[in-house]
Structure 1
Amino acid sequence: MSFGLLTGLLCGALLGFVMQRGRFCLTGGFRDMYIAKDNRMFYALLIAIAVQSVGVYTLISLGVFEFTTGTISLLAVIAGSFIFGIGIIFAGGCATGTWYRAGEGLVGSWMALAGYMLVAAMMRTGPLAPIDTKLKSYEVGNNSMAATFGVSPWILIAILVVIVAFIVYRELKKPKVKIPSLKPKKTGLAHVLFEKRWNPFVTATLIGVIATLAWPLSVATGRMGGLGITTPSANILQFLVTGDISFVNWGVFLVLGVFFGSMFAAKMSGEFRFRMPDVKTGLNSFSGGLMMGFGASLAGGCSIGNGLVMTAMMTWSGWISLVFMILGTWTASYFVFVRPRKKAQAARSEAVTA
């Protein structure tokens, strides 16, 4: 095992630790935008995107590595992202969220991971590969937003940074809501790392830095890309089935690192415990994982690969995917949460007036 691959484990462990302690859940964030009208987690995602965008394009400008956006398969991105958005509601977490929740001992997330890895592998080299190839063959043009507008990527990055800075300023100006907390059991750094509630904007900044760090570490091993969850997850299953060591790369160690980093954080903060879902929740988790695997593979990325990384690279696929992921999440949220609640309220009203 080379040191380069171990950097994937380290990077993933940092990501899993930060996401677990910061409760960085994009599924809940997208859902809350619709149900609770709470945009803070979405704003946190924008911060992570902006930090990574500045960091990665600085590295590109310094000649650390080169990056090409390629073309965009619009139909695959739209359909896959929408299906993925539906899947994360049923699974109870996005791809990365499922990995870190699995590290907390949530058995339902293990079930979601099983479905996710299975279909992702089937889309790559299994019986679903022809569907994946066919839908991705409809390419519509350059994937670079900067090339489309005929400007430097830095212009788009500057616009994003200004928008994010304004959002952060506006949010920080709002009156703070005091949240009751238990008397601290830890002191000093231990209290900050394992007990204190993390600010989502600070968490997002750390994730942006980790996402930036992932690029040179990954490229150094011959893997062109930053954070990515879907392909590495499929690679794990393919390796277990075939024994082909070529499937084990930096990305595989990254996702394993997310699991172990989250487990360490959960253990140290007293949040680790095995939780067995009921039958309905287990089935929902597995079916959600199946949809996640299909959607993310078709779209060319999950909420991290497209929603965090490819958005930061100023690609059409990243931003279009993010929009349709959110729309898929809202659609599923309506049928899973809003519609049943409305029916229950209507039934109670009829019972009162009867």
Structure 2
Amino acid sequence: MVQMIITGLLCGALLGFVMQRGRFCLTGGFRDMYLTKDNRMFYALLIAIAVQSVGVYTLVALEVIQISTGTLPLFAIILGSFIFGIGIVLAGGCATGTWYRAGEGLIGSWIALAGYILMSTIMKTGPLSPLNQKIQQPQLPTNSMADTLGINVWFLIALLLAVVGWIIYKEVTKPKVVIPTLKPKKTGLAHILFEKRWHPFLTALLVGLIAILAWPLSSATGRIAGLGITTPSANILQYLTTGDLAFINWGVFLVLGILVGSFVAAKASNEFRFRMPDVKTGLTSFTGGNLMGFGASLAGGCSIGNGLVMTALMTWQGWIALIFMILGTWTAVYFVFIRGRKEKKSKATVQTSITTA
């Protein structure tokens, strides 16, 4: 238990610290791909996936860990991931992003987190558990992309590395845009850690390394998995309502560690402050959190569990989920940002016409 607490909190704190300082938000990344045609955060995700993929399969080859990709509940993954993508826009952050933004003092993220944990619990062991299981029942026998294609998994990893290498080359050779910055208030390591803006690609490298570290640390406690957010989040409420210690595992301390690490980073960089949303925003955040919990439970993972971990394992589940998360995000962005703004502008024009008539 002591090992579980220490290593889980440590890994989670590292992840929360890095994500907070690097602003590693996949919700913003998916949204910006559609709104501003800015793909940098998506590219950063691909880097983190590639780093973790190399690390995990190296650990497998060295027999440090064992993995199983399981079967493929295709319909549940498509439906759940699409709903999850809608939810993260309404919640203002994905599952991990909600945890680390809660550590910054954002009350809206706490509200979204409450909805996320509540619905995840309801879907896994509550009244909606039968529905969850029924939708997940139709399953294809093979989830591994390498097994389906009849090739060694390292060929797929090599292809991903080639794509990532090309992306990095294209990005670093772009003309540099000089952005004026204020004179640093800190010096040395303190300036780098708590003041200097982190490059998304550096953040992605660190996230990938932490994701690798999670595998042996988690496996050492009997939990054969890497980073995961949805089930551990539900485990917290499951334990609090039942008192069953079986719900306490390495993943629980991982998500609590994210909160701690983010808080430390935010306080040290003077970015922590309590921010209370208005009623409408609070209700939207809670609704988004519920959609996140519903969708992630159906799909068998969130933007981290599917979008980062299962993609790195080269599974159909991970890459299909990632595609439909992005499509869900874009759908919500269209109705919330684009169509919503058009309707507001149209109403304002009509009101002005009436006033001047």
TM-score when scaled to structure 1? Answer: 0.98
SS in structure 1 of the partner of residue 236 of structure 2: helix
Q: Which residue of 2 aligns with 1:225?
A: 225
In the TM superposition, what is the alpha-carbon distance from 1:243 to its structure 2 partner? 1.1
- Give yes or no for contact 1:20–1:265 (8 Å, CA) kept in 2: yes
Taking the aligned partners of 1:106 and 1:348, their CA distance within structure 2 comes to 31
Q: Which residue of 2 aligns with 1:72?
A: 72
In the TM superposition, what is the alpha-carbon distance from 1:341 to its structure 2 partner? 2.1
- Give yes or no for contact 1:19–1:203 (8 Å, CA) kept in 2: yes
Amino acid at match of 2:263: M
- Give yes or no for contact 2:9–2:256 (8 Å, CA) kept in 1: yes
In the TM superposition, what is the alpha-carbon distance from 1:348 to its structure 2 partner? 6.2
Taking the aligned partners of 2:340 and 2:310, their CA distance within structure 1 comes to 35
Q: Which residue of 1 aligns with 2:31?
A: 31
The one-character-per-residue Cα deviations of 1:200-226 (angstroms, maximum 9, x if unpaired) are 000000000000000010011000100
SS in structure 1 of the partner of residue 303 of structure 2: coil
The one-character-per-residue Cα deviations of 1:59-91 (angstroms, maximum 9, x if unpaired) are 000011111111100010000000000000000
Taking the aligned partners of 1:274 and 1:245, their CA distance within structure 2 comes to 33
In the TM superposition, what is the alpha-carbon distance from 1:343 to its structure 2 partner? 2.9
In the TM superposition, what is the alpha-carbon distance from 1:342 to its structure 2 partner? 2.4
Q: Which residue of 2 aligns with 1:3?
A: 3
SS in structure 2 of the partner of residue 302 of structure 1: coil
In the TM superposition, what is the alpha-carbon distance from 1:181 to its structure 2 partner? 1.6
Taking the aligned partners of 2:164 and 2:111, their CA distance within structure 1 comes to 36
SS in structure 2 of the partner of residue 65 of structure 1: coil
The one-character-per-residue Cα deviations of 1:23-57 (angstroms, maximum 9, x if unpaired) are 00000000000011100000000000000000000
Taking the aligned partners of 2:347 and 2:2, their CA distance within structure 1 comes to 62
Amino acid at match of 1:53: S
Q: Which residue of 1 aligns with 2:266?
A: 266
SS in structure 2 of the partner of residue 210 of structure 1: helix
TM-score when scaled to structure 2? Answer: 0.97
In the TM superposition, what is the alpha-carbon distance from 1:6 to its structure 2 partner? 1.4
- Give yes or no for contact 2:3–2:221 (8 Å, CA) kept in 1: no
Question: Bigger CA drift: 333-342 or 85-94?
Answer: 333-342
Amino acid at match of 2:61: S
Amino acid at match of 1:311: T
Taking the aligned partners of 1:344 and 1:220, their CA distance within structure 2 comes to 55
SS in structure 1 of the partner of residue 176 of structure 2: coil
Question: Bigger CA drift: 46-55 or 240-249?
Answer: 240-249
- Give yes or no for contact 2:4–2:249 (8 Å, CA) kept in 1: no
Amino acid at match of 1:134: K
In the TM superposition, what is the alpha-carbon distance from 1:321 to its structure 2 partner? 0.1
Q: Which residue of 1 aligns with 2:338?
A: 338
Taking the aligned partners of 1:70 and 1:121, their CA distance within structure 2 comes to 23
Taking the aligned partners of 1:4 and 1:343, their CA distance within structure 2 comes to 52
In the TM superposition, what is the alpha-carbon distance from 1:5 to its structure 2 partner? 3.1
In the TM superposition, what is the alpha-carbon distance from 1:345 to its structure 2 partner? 4.4
Amino acid at match of 2:133: T
- Give yes or no for contact 2:306–2:317 (8 Å, CA) kept in 1: yes
Q: Which residue of 2 aligns with 1:295?
A: 295
Taking the aligned partners of 1:9 and 1:261, their CA distance within structure 2 comes to 9
Q: Which residue of 2 aligns with 1:63?
A: 63
In the TM superposition, what is the alpha-carbon distance from 1:347 to its structure 2 partner? 5.2
- Give yes or no for contact 2:74–2:138 (8 Å, CA) kept in 1: yes
In the TM superposition, what is the alpha-carbon distance from 1:176 to its structure 2 partner? 1.5
SS in structure 2 of the partner of residue 323 of structure 1: helix
Amino acid at match of 1:17: F
- Give yes or no for contact 1:47–1:201 (8 Å, CA) kept in 2: yes
SS in structure 2 of the partner of residue 227 of structure 1: coil
Q: Which residue of 2 aligns with 1:114?
A: 114
Taking the aligned partners of 1:36 and 1:342, their CA distance within structure 2 comes to 17
Taking the aligned partners of 2:295 and 2:182, their CA distance within structure 1 comes to 41
Q: Which residue of 2 aligns with 1:206?
A: 206
1:188-203 matched pairs, under 5 angstroms: 188-203=188-203
- Give yes or no for contact 1:236–1:252 (8 Å, CA) kept in 2: yes
Amino acid at match of 2:138: Y
Taking the aligned partners of 2:49 and 2:241, their CA distance within structure 1 comes to 35
Q: Which residue of 2 aligns with 1:249?
A: 249
Taking the aligned partners of 2:218 and 2:177, their CA distance within structure 1 comes to 41
Q: Which residue of 1 aligns with 2:96?
A: 96
The one-character-per-residue Cα deviations of 1:306-337 (angstroms, maximum 9, x if unpaired) are 00000000000000000000000000000000
- Give yes or no for contact 1:8–1:218 (8 Å, CA) kept in 2: yes
Q: Which residue of 2 aligns with 1:130?
A: 130
Amino acid at match of 2:142: N
Amino acid at match of 1:265: A
Q: CA RMSD in A?
A: 1.3
- Give yes or no for contact 1:5–1:221 (8 Å, CA) kept in 2: no
Question: Bigger CA drift: 7-16 or 344-353?
Answer: 344-353
In the TM superposition, what is the alpha-carbon distance from 1:349 to its structure 2 partner? 6.5
Taking the aligned partners of 1:273 and 1:33, their CA distance within structure 2 comes to 29
SS in structure 2 of the partner of residue 120 of structure 1: helix
Taking the aligned partners of 1:141 and 1:249, their CA distance within structure 2 comes to 29
Q: Which residue of 1 aligns with 2:153?
A: 153
In the TM superposition, what is the alpha-carbon distance from 1:175 to its structure 2 partner? 1.1
- Give yes or no for contact 2:8–2:257 (8 Å, CA) kept in 1: yes
Amino acid at match of 1:219: S
Amino acid at match of 1:11: C
SS in structure 2 of the partner of residue 69 of structure 1: coil
Q: Which residue of 2 aligns with 1:14?
A: 14
